[in-house]
């Protein structure tokens, strides 16, 4: 497997990671992990076709044979000729360091009556593709989402015939409310575990809202940077080995001239590059598993320790009033260099990051009146203390303040 291919986690590690996410989503109480959940080996794959900008950086270009090419070739029970299919695969396989993803949606395993036929044709197409790309990860786009449990055996047989593979489910946004997105991610994780827990899960994500969104005015508009940054962080911190960014293909249907003009300065692009910078410069989270207290909790299960438990599916949430605060006790004095705030929809537009030696007298190390939510990195702190506090003075929504995670960076004070 080439070094830039999806990193297969050891079977027990992947199974434990996936199970942890599923149980957390079911609101079961889990012990805080001993290590930071973020994985520095996470790979972001670029499957975008925007004409005006590319992600660049440390992202890896992936390859995609589209459904619009495959489906006409398999209509009425047919298959393309071997040479024809291999030529098609070769033409789309532009970066042999990235995975090769095949999309043939009319052959999904959604029915028991057609499963045997669809499986046979998927197997043949997969086998021919493997001959074209003998050393790459090869997988099926959307097949995980569209395989019913009665047909898991067929999917497992496809994997057995092509062990250097990954799951590539679609994980797109249909509203500004992340509840549905989170539910889809949880379902993908559960299904991947049920089919084969040893196969890496690399969801396809899209920085535009999918067609059919609610409200309809969102269709194909760009997902706000705050929402997008939380999606990237959630996938990474759940322990998945990577994700694939889709977009702009075919350009005429999903990103017109006005859309293309917006891409270079779009918030999602800057957020993606910031995310890649985080991957390139991993840091130790001093707050992980530390003692945390807060001014208030809006409902049971959203206590302050949920912001420092290393689980991106749990969070602290305050009551719906200003001001509010959450305090982290680091257990000793540290030179604090930065913090990272992963906000839920309920974020702070005005807040301060404060440091204290005794938990009573506070010094403001950073303040803002233009907080935007999402994932906010504050890397210019220069303060020393045992306690770090986020003190919110103005809410960005009608709700309270809510953090999926509150990370603190620095070194032990001399």
CATH number of the CATH domain containing 124: 3.20.20.70
Q: Does 251 lie in the same domain as 104?
A: yes
Encoded tokens for 164 = 């250097």
Do the Cβ atoms of 400 and 321 come closer than 8 Å? yes
* Phi, psi dihedral angles at 329 (to 5 degrees): -100, 110
- Tokens 């619009």 belong to which residue? 68
Encoded tokens for 387 = 């306690």
Strand-by-strand arrangement of the 43-48 sheet? 60-61, 43-48, 242-247, 204-205
Q: Does 306 lie in the same domain as 218?
A: no
Q: What would the pLDDT profile of 265-307 be if each residue is shown by its tens digit? A: 999 999 999 999 999 999 999 999 999 999 999 999 999 999 9
Look at residue 120 and give its three-state secondary structure: helix
Q: Is residue 2 part of a domain?
A: no
Q: At what angle do helices 82-92 and 115-132 cross, to 10 degrees?
A: 60
Range of the domain at 264: 11-280
Average pLDDT, the chain: 91
Number of helical (H) and strand (E) elements in the chain, helices listed first: 10, 15
Q: Does 341 lie in the same domain as 269?
A: no
Q: In terms of pLDDT, which residue wins out, 253 or 268? A: 268
Q: In terms of pLDDT, which residue wins out, 321 or 32? A: 321
Q: What is the structure's pLDDT at 38? A: 38
Q: Is residue 6 part of a domain?
A: no
CA distance 49 to 397: 35
Q: Does 184 lie in the same domain as 39?
A: yes
Q: Does 40 lie in the same domain as 178?
A: yes
Q: What is the structure's pLDDT at 11? A: 37
Q: What is the structure's pLDDT at 40? A: 57
- Whether the predicted pLDDT of 155 surpasses 90: yes
CA distance 374 to 250: 29
Q: Does 316 lie in the same domain as 248?
A: no
Q: What is the structure's pLDDT at 41? A: 83
Q: Is residue 1 part of a domain?
A: no
Q: In terms of pLDDT, which residue wins out, 19 or 177? A: 177
Please state whether the peptide bond connecting residue 369 to the residue before it is cis, i.e. omega within 30 degrees of 0: no
Do the Cβ atoms of 238 and 17 come closer than 8 Å? yes
Q: Is residue 233 part of a domain?
A: yes
Q: Is residue 286 part of a domain?
A: no
Q: Is residue 30 part of a domain?
A: yes
Look at residue 231 and give its three-state secondary structure: helix
Q: What would the pLDDT profile of 22-78 be if each residue is shown by its tens digit? A: 434 333 323 333 333 334 589 999 999 999 999 999 999 999 999 999 999 999 999
- Whether the predicted pLDDT of 234 surpasses 50: yes
Work out the pLDDT band at 413, boundaries 50, 70, 90.
very high
CA distance 244 to 318: 34
| End-of-domain residue from the set 246, 280, 314 | 280
Q: What is the structure's pLDDT at 250? A: 73
Q: Does 124 lie in the same domain as 52?
A: yes
Encoded tokens for 223 = 């997902």
Residue 350, judged by CB atoms within 10 A of its CB (0-12, 13-18, 19+), counts as: middle
- Whether the predicted pLDDT of 149 surpasses 50: yes
DSSP H/E element including 402: strand 402-412
Tell me how many domains the chain contains.
Answer: 2
Q: What is the structure's pLDDT at 119? A: 98
Q: Is residue 28 part of a domain?
A: yes
All residues at 6 or more sequence positions from 136 whose CB lies less than 8 Å from its CB, including other chains: 2, 5, 63, 93, 96, 98, 99, 100, 164
SS (H, E, C) 188-221: HHHHHHHHHCCCCECCEECCECCCCCCCHHHCCC
Q: What is the structure's pLDDT at 16? A: 34
Where residue 86 falls (left for φ over 0; alpha for ψ -120 to 50; beta otherwise) is alpha
Q: Is residue 331 part of a domain?
A: yes
Q: What is the structure's pLDDT at 8? A: 40
Work out the pLDDT band at 89, boundaries 50, 70, 90.
very high
DSSP H/E element including 324: strand 324-343
Task: Taking residues 242-259, report their average pLDDT.
Answer: 88
Residue 332, judged by CB atoms within 10 A of its CB (0-12, 13-18, 19+), counts as: exposed
Q: How far apart are the first and last CA of the chain?
A: 45
- Beta-bridge partner residues of 395: 348
All residues at 6 or more sequence positions from 378 whose CB lies less than 8 Å from its CB, including other chains: 338, 339, 340, 341, 353, 366
* Phi, psi dihedral angles at 48 (to 5 degrees): -85, 155
Look at residue 4 and give its three-state secondary structure: coil
């Amino acid at each position: 497997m080439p070094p830039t291919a999806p990193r297969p986690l050891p079977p027990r590690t992947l199974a434990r990671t996936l199970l942890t996410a599923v149980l957390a989503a079911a609101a079961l109480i889990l012990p805080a992990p001993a290590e930071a959940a973020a994985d520095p080996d996470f790979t972001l794959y670029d499957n975008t076709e925007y004409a005006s900008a590319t992600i660049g950086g440390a992202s890896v270009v992936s390859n995609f044979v589209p459904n619009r090419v495959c489906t006409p070739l398999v209509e009425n029970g047919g298959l393309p000729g071997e040479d024809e299919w291999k030529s098609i695969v070769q033409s789309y396989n532009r970066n042999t360091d990235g995975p090769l993803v095949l999309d043939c949606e009319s052959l999904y395993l959604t029915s028991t009556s057609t499963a045997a036929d669809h499986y046979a044709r998927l197997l043949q197409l997969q086998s021919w593709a493997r001959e074209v790309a003998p050393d790459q990860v090869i997988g099926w786009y959307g097949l995980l989402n569209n395989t019913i449990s009665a047909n898991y055996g067929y999917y497992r047989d496809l994997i057995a015939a092509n062990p250097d593979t990954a799951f590539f489910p679609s994980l797109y946004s249909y509203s500004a409310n992340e509840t549905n997105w989170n539910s889809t991610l949880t379902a993908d994780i559960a299904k991947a575990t049920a089919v084969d827990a040893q196969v890496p899960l690399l969801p396809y994500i899209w920085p535009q809202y999918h067609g059919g969104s609610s409200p309809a005015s969102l269709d194909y508009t760009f997902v706000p940077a705050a929402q997008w940054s939380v999606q990237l962080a959630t996938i990474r911190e759940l322990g998945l080995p990577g994700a694939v960014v889709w977009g702009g293909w075919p350009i005429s249907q999903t990103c017109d001239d006005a859309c293309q003009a917006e891409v270079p300065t779009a918030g999602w692009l800057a957020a993606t590059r910031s995310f890649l910078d985080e991957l390139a410069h991993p840091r130790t989270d001093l707050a992980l598993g530390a003692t945390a207290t807060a001014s208030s909790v809006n409902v049971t299960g959203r206590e302050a320790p949920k912001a420092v438990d290393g689980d991106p599916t749990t969070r602290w949430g305050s009551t719906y009033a200003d001001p509010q605060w959450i305090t982290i006790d680091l257990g000793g004095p540290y030179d604090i260099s930065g913090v990272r705030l992963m906000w839920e929809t309920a974020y702070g537009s005005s807040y301060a990051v404060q440091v204290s030696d005794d938990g009573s007298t506070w010094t403001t190390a950073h303040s803002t009146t233009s907080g935007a939510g999402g994932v906010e990195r504050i890397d210019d702190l220069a303060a020393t203390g045992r306690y770090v506090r986020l003190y919110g003075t103005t809410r960005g929504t009608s709700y309270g303040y809510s953090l999926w995670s509150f990370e603190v960076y620095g070194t032990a004070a001399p």
